[in-house]
Structures are given as C-alpha cells and as structure tokens.
Amino acid sequence: MVRSSVLGYPRIGADREWKKALEAFWSGKLEESELHSQLQEIRLNHLRKQQEKGIDFIPVNDFSYYDHVLDTATMFGIIPKRFPYKGGIVPLSVYYGIARGTKDATASEMTKWFNTNYHYIVPELDGANPVLTENRPLNAYREAKDKLGIEGKPVIVGPLTFLKLSKGYSISETDAWLERLLPLYVQILQELESEGVQWVQIDEPILVTKLSAADLQRLKTIYETFAASVPNLNIMLQTYFESVENYSDIVALPVKGIGLDFVHGFYGNMPTIKALGFPADKVLGAGVIDGRGIWKASLRERLVLLEELGEFVTADRIIVQSSCSLLHVPVTVKNEALLLPELKDALAFADEKLDELVLLTKAVSSGVAVIANELEKCESALEALKLSGERNRNDIQQAVAAISAQHPERSLPFSERHIAQQKKWQLPMLPTTTIGSFPQSAEVRKARQLWRKGEWNNEQYANFIREQIDIWIKLQEEIGLDVLVHGEFERTDMVEFFGEKLAGFAFTQNGWVQSYGSRCVKPPIIFGDVAFEEAMTVKETKYAQSKTDRPVKGMLTGPITIMNWSFVREDITREQIAYQLAYALRQEVEALEHAGIGMIQVDEPAVREGLPLKEEDQAKYLAWAVKAFRMTTCTVQDTTQIHTHMCYCEFHDMIDSIEAMDADVISIETSRSHGELIHSFELNTYKLGIGLGVYDIHSPRIPRVEEMTNMIDRALRVLDPKLFWINPDCGLKTRGFEETIDSLRNMVEATQIARAKHSLKV
C-alpha cells in the first residue's frame, strides 16, 4: 500500500507566532522558559495538523530555534572560538550569538541554502573538537510520541552535505573531519534504533551537485558504516532541488530508501529511472508535490507520473511525498480573503499540499474514482487561470519580444563613462554611501498602517514620508556621507513595493516564509504579464534631491531579484518573466533620469541564488540574467551612474558575469566573508567601480573603526582605489536609530583614516 510523507513543515506558524516569540526573547520581553514553552506549543500544533490531515510519515526535528544547519553544528559542539563555550548542551546565548553576533563577537557567515531564498548559518570547523552535546532527533521523536502518539520520522542533515557546506578546513582535511563526525552520527542513529524508531530521513541535497570520485567514496563509507552500525533502522537517503548526479552509485548504497525530486529534478531523475530502473530492495520516496512553488498541482498529471513510476517500483515501495521541505512556502491559503477567485483557487500552500499528498495516496491505493470530485475541481481551477486576461496581454508580449531580440549595451564603455561621471560628480577618493534603506521605526510602520487602513489620507502620509526624508538627508550630511539616499520609508519590502505598482502581480495577506532567522518575507505572486503603469519612485527621490547639493541615488530592485524573490507563474519560462520585468523597470529608470536623478541603483542581491545547481545550465542562466539587467539600464546617458548591489552569496564563480552586467558601481556584501571574496579579486581583475561592504548590518553590534580600516586596507591591495567605494554590506532597514548613526560615523572615520594612510586625495 502506497504511503504519504512530508520532508519538513514551515516553522513560522500561520500568524508568524514563531517569529514573534523569538524576537520577544531577544528583546528581553520573554523569559527563556517561556520561549521553550511557546515554541513547543507551536511545534506540537504543526505535528498535530499533519497527523489530522492523514500524513503517514511525519517529520520531526525539522523544527528549529533559528536554522537547521546551525542546529546540527551546535549538536556536535562545533562552536567558533570567539564565543564562550565550556562544553555540554549549547546555551541559547551562544546559539543566538553565532547566528546574530554579540557586542564582542561577530556572527558566523550566512549564505543561501542551495538555490533557494532560505539562508543558513555556515558552520566553522576551524579549531573545533566535535562531540555529541545532545541527541536532538531523539528528543524530537520522544516528544512527538509522548505528547501526540506520533511515530515520527527524525530528519537529520547528512554528513557529506554538512561537511561540504562548512568552512574552516582544507580539502586535504576532509577525510579527517569525516572520521571525527561519523562516530557522532552513528551514536545518534544507534540511540534512535534502540528507541524503536522505524524510519530516519537523512538529507543529502549535496548529491544533486557534481561530486568528485573522492566524495563518492566518502559517501560509500558513510552509508556502509551506518548499515553496519544500525542494521534494523530504515534510512531514507533524501535528495531534493534537482536530479541526482551519479545515480548508479547512489542507488547502490546500503539504505532502505532513496528520496528523489520529481518536480525540479524531473527531467533528470525520470529518464534515469526509465533507463536504469530502480532497485527492488529499496523504497522510492517520490517527490511529486512541489515543496517550493505555490501553485496547485495538476492531480491528473501527478497520477500519470506515479503510474509511470509504478512500472519500475511496486506500490508498496512508493512513498508519495513533497519534493523538498515545505519550509519554502507559506502555511495556508485559507486565510487569504483578498485574492482574485481564479488566482486563489489555483494556489496550494503548505497545508493544501498536505491535502494533495493525501489525495494522491488515496487515488493510487484505492483508485482514481475516490477523488473524482477533487480532480475535477483542480483541473477547472487551473484552466480558469490559464485563460485569464492577465496572462494574455498581447501588447506586452509583443513589446518584450521586440526589445529582447536586441543586444542591450551602453553607448560608451565603462572606461570612458567613468571619466565623464567623475567630471560631473567630483567625488572624493573612496566615496562613501549606503545601500538604500534606513531604519523602519515603529513610528514609520504605524504611519504606513494608518494610511493603509484609510485613517490617514494620501497627503498626510506623503507629508510624513517627506519629514522622514528631511531628517535623514540632514543626518547623512552631518555624518559626512558623499552620496545620499532618500531612505525608502515608503517601502514595506524591496520587492513588494514594486510589485504593488506593476501589473501582473498579486499579494497575499499572510503568505509569509522564512528567509533567515526570524526574518520572514511575503513574496509577491507574479501570475500575469508584467507591465509598467506609472512612475514608482520618482516623487520621493526627486524630493530628497531637492533638499541637498550632494547626489541622491534613485533606488530600484532589479528584474532578476524581483523574479527570484517572488512566486512566479509556471506557464512561461523564467527568462521570459525576467525580460518582462526588465522592460517595465527600464521605463522607471528613464523616468528617474528625466526627473534629474543622475545616480540610479538597480539592486540585484538575488542573482546568485537563482543559479541552477547543474553546472551545464549555469552559463545560460547567467547570460539571460545579465541581459535582463542591461535591458533595464542600457538606455541612460553616459554621465548617469548605474549602481547595483548583491549580498549573502558565494561570488567567486560568477565574477565575470558580475562584470558583464556593466554597472558603473557594484556593492557586494563581504563583512561575514571578507577574506573569501577578496581572494577572488586577487585571482581575478575587476575593472569597474566596486564597494565591498565593510560591516555586517544583520548583527546588532556597532563595528569598530579599526575593523573597517583593516577591511579597507586588504581590499585596496587588490582593487583600484580610484574605483573603490565604502558602504555597509546591506540596507539598514532593520537596525535601530542610534546604532545606525554610530556605525555610519565609524565607517566615515575609517574611510578618512584610509584616505590619509594611503595618501589618497580627497
């Protein structure tokens, strides 16, 4: 009999109660015992929901107090040396210190979880002596069984994935580290086996990337060791986000089950199974429901897929499951009252995906007739959206086809534009600026709420925004920044703000997903053809420029970031969506320039995260991503300076593409990974303007002048001081008023010291 399973469930709660509990604890409003109590109740509610829906294999240990990779590191006592730790269970003060930083220690690096918008905390192995501090999966299993009678499926990040995502060791030390970690994993699994656990899900998403022969041997060693150590424990070796590499090697491993993604990995996994079959002694975890997308699945198509898989795997050896953890989607569509009916009916968030899994399981087990009504409703909903006017705008489709057939480029090369821009702007060496946003205080949020509720009219709200701009223009001048910003006080989110003003977008009321830690985002839904309707940023930027003689940057979010940070339609390619966005944003760039704004920042922090996991697909993606950016910015005058910004990604493998974007200035986050990126520039010449973020805005600590001076010094060893800018590593929206002022003052002081030290003329 076929069974159902989920790989993980969202942590945050339908009303973001998880986020609220964490932030109350961090602010001192919640005692630690109360935090534990509240999070346990949230966790049990999530388990109870899956139990009531009828999911057969319910994941446990997928819940976290911040991040599951950080959980794994602290479970093994892997604590960076700069944090006080004397052994045993890791205190929350240390746990959150690693994630967020403290007054005395910088936070660990944070980067993207494969090609998603979720960020994990990078484990630092340097100097660590791993030991099992607590068996988290066992604790989670016991809680689910004792409290709810659930025979849970513990979830663990696998050893190879954990090692490959960690830092602080050389490649030559990989086997030595595996020898240290493997006994700890064995101890966890043996304790689970002794407890009577039936299935354990070991996540190895690294298996969808290219592995060396040495890594394949390590994989073999790991799972042969597990098989010998826990012969009675069923291990589901779980992959996701793409098709597996080295299929034959992986299915030959001595595990009970293999989990494969048949949504994002369909075009690799399905042909491989058809060509090579599937082992008769293993269970197939068939990831047929999209764990990353928000669209209702075509149940009819999914049943056809399961029928095809049934030719190679008997029904009793198939588990119908999500393609990955549901961490990446909102909790439920049920609470969305304002969406167009044809759109809402075509959506499926986490809870609705649970229903889809149960329906498919019923149909495979008992015949399609048992879900006939649901099948009909599903297909009708999908067809209604397909035929909607929003998805069939011929004017936009024709215009985008015309401009995307052209080669977008500025009229002069950077070397000549740079001279013209320097003559116009007369900036000092090492010019200082910020990334765009300033603190969104409670007062700012309250004003926006009053306006949205209709308690303030448009003029009242506009006056309030102008007052905030006045305050921060003056502050920036007093601090001594060279290039200013208006502060983005009118913006809730860097993607949502633009989506609300463009055609083709829809917005949820409660469609929150976790980005990092307690940071939740509410991605827009691109469900129709994207179109420019009216100027979006001109009013506030033009006003800010009128209040100062220093240049004020116009601030836009770029086409690739808007696309990658939205839930996008599936009926056209992502490349086509990117070009529609580029065409719309080009019109905004031109409107800013026409209004007299001569510096325009088009942020692209999410370019890297959209990079396909398969190497053979990466060049094509980067080519059209670069083209979309250039389509957005190529029509401006030579003296108009185009800036962009990227953050929290590994950049070393795409420096050439960054340069090909042809932005006059790019700012890149480096404060948590400064050395790694500087090393990239030691190996690769970069000839355009660049700012390497000199302090981490996601940490509450105020950076010291000396820290930033050291960062500047190292950067200037490999970068041309004539092209080097000084800035924080990201926007300052989430920071407090006083810490923002103090941090920026220190940044300007560090810049002045660097100018003097390197004899750079101001």
Annotated binding site for L-methionine: 435-437, 488, 603
Rounded to whole angstroms, the Cα distance separating 755 from 757 reads 6
Q: Which residues are annotated as a binding site for 5-methyltetrahydropteroyltri-L-glutamate?
A: 16-19, 112, 117, 519-520, 565, 609
Q: Look-up: residue for tokens 């159902």?
A: 4
Rounded to whole angstroms, the Cα distance separating 55 from 350 reads 13
With b for 16 or more beta-carbon neighbours within 10 A and e for fewer, the 660-699 pattern comes to: bbbbbbbbbbbbbbbeebbebbeeeebebbbbbbbbbbbb
State the catalytic residue, choosing from 68, 418, 643, 698.
698
The number of CA neighbours under 13 Å toward the Cβ of 472 is 34
- The CA-CA-CA angle for residues 672, 676, 680, to 5°, reads 135
Q: Look-up: residue for tokens 């190292």?
A: 714
The number of CA neighbours under 13 Å toward the Cβ of 514 is 30
Rounded to whole angstroms, the Cα distance separating 79 from 428 reads 42
Q: Which residues are annotated as a binding site for L-homocysteine?
A: 435-437, 488, 603
Q: 273 and 261 in contact (C-beta within 8 Å)? A: no
Nearest partner of 121 among 400, 516, 493, 647, judged by Cα: 516
- The CA-CA-CA angle for residues 373, 377, 381, to 5°, reads 170
Dihedral angle at the C-alpha atoms of 359, 360, 361, 367, nearest 10 degrees?
A: 90
What H or E segment, with its residue span, contains residue 238? strand 234-238
Write the CA distances from 730 to 434, 603, 658, 667, 671, integer angstroms. Answer: 8, 10, 17, 9, 10
Q: Look-up: residue for tokens 């240990």?
A: 61
Q: Which residues are annotated as a binding site for Zn(2+)?
A: 645, 647, 669, 730
Q: Other C-beta atoms within 10 Å of 271: how many? A: 11
Q: Which residues are annotated as a binding site?
A: 16-19, 112, 117, 435-437, 488, 519-520, 565, 603, 609, 645, 647, 669, 730
Rounded to whole angstroms, the Cα distance separating 238 from 285 reads 8
Nearest partner of 750 among 704, 691, 698, 689, judged by Cα: 704
Question: What are 59's strand-pairing partners?
Answer: 153
As given in the structure block, the two tokens for residue 301 are 């198509």
Angle between helices 615-633 and 574-594 (to 10 degrees): 20
- The CA-CA-CA angle for residues 471, 476, 481, to 5°, reads 170
The contacts of residue 677 (CB under 8 Å, 6+ apart) are 651, 652, 668, 670, 692
698 is catalytic: yes
Dihedral angle at the C-alpha atoms of 296, 300, 306, 309, nearest 10 degrees?
A: -120
Q: Other C-beta atoms within 10 Å of 321: how many? A: 33
The contacts of residue 41 (CB under 8 Å, 6+ apart) are none
As given in the structure block, the two tokens for residue 335 are 């609470």
Rounded to whole angstroms, the Cα distance separating 184 from 77 reads 11
Total residues belonging to the chain = 762
Q: Which residues belong to the active site?
A: 698
